[in-house]
Amino acid sequence: MSRFLKLMSVLAIVALIAVPAFAEVQNVKVSGDIDSKMINRNNYDVGSTGASSAADNDNDTWFMTTARVQVDA
């Protein structure tokens, strides 16, 4: 009897988990974009004329990437 109850319990749990798998199929639209930029700035210290200005690096370069994802159901 105990074996039968275990088997029925397992079958009931599997049936309850499997029911959502039969959900209605809907149209889902996934879209988006990726934007990449490289920014390079020269004379970034705006003409600093201090004693240490000759040794300072007044250039700056960096990359910036933005990704946007949109999901419509």
| pLDDT string in tens for the chain (73-residue length) | 688 888 889 888 888 887 665 556 678 899 999 999 998 888 766 666 665 555 566 788 889 999 999 988 7
SS (H, E, C) the chain: CHHHHHHHHHHHHHHHHHHHHHCCCCCCEEEEEEEEEEEEECCCCCCCCCCCCCCCCCCEEEEEEEEEEEEEC
**In angstroms, how far is CA 23 from the centroid of its own chain?**
27
Contact (Cβ atoms closer than 8 angstroms) between residue 40 and residue 64: no
d(CA 13, CA 19): 10
